Amino acid sequence: MRITFLQSGGFAGMIKGCEIDATDLAPGERHELESLVAGSGLTESFERFSDTGRDLRQYEIVIERDAAVQRICCDDRSVPESARPLMAFLSARARPQSPDVAAALRRRAVGG
């Protein structure tokens, strides 16, 4: 499993992100990630943003498992409650990204 995570927006408008390959993680951390993904309820791709709130953080998550790829785009208000622990795991590993690096991560995640 491979996950690409991008977080942008918020008051400062900063871009943070990470790319995680589960095979590179220690066994305990890999199990935690797999459990969080399984419990997140993110089983299908979707794009959902709140109509209100100008300074909300926006998230883009691409989950690649076997031959399946899911792309989830949402903001602080529209992220499913069940996915919040996964978001916290990914946010803790995200680091500041330049717009160029973020664009490259996005292209790689969608096969471009």
Provide the 3-class DSSP secondary structure of residue 33.
Answer: helix
Q: Are strands 68-75 and 46-48 parallel, antiparallel or unpaired?
A: parallel
Backbone φ and ψ for 64, nearest 5 degrees, come out as -110, 120
pLDDT at 14: 81
- For the chain, counts of helices (H) and of strands (E): 3, 6
pTM of the model: 0.87
pLDDT at 108: 66
82, 40 contact by CB (below 8 A): yes
pLDDT at 73: 92
pLDDT one digit per residue (tens) for the chain, 112 residues? 999 999 988 766 688 999 999 999 999 999 999 999 999 999 999 999 888 877 889 999 999 998 899 999 999 999 999 999 999 999 999 999 877 766 766 676 666 5
Angle at 62 between CA 64 and CA 52, to 5 degrees: 155
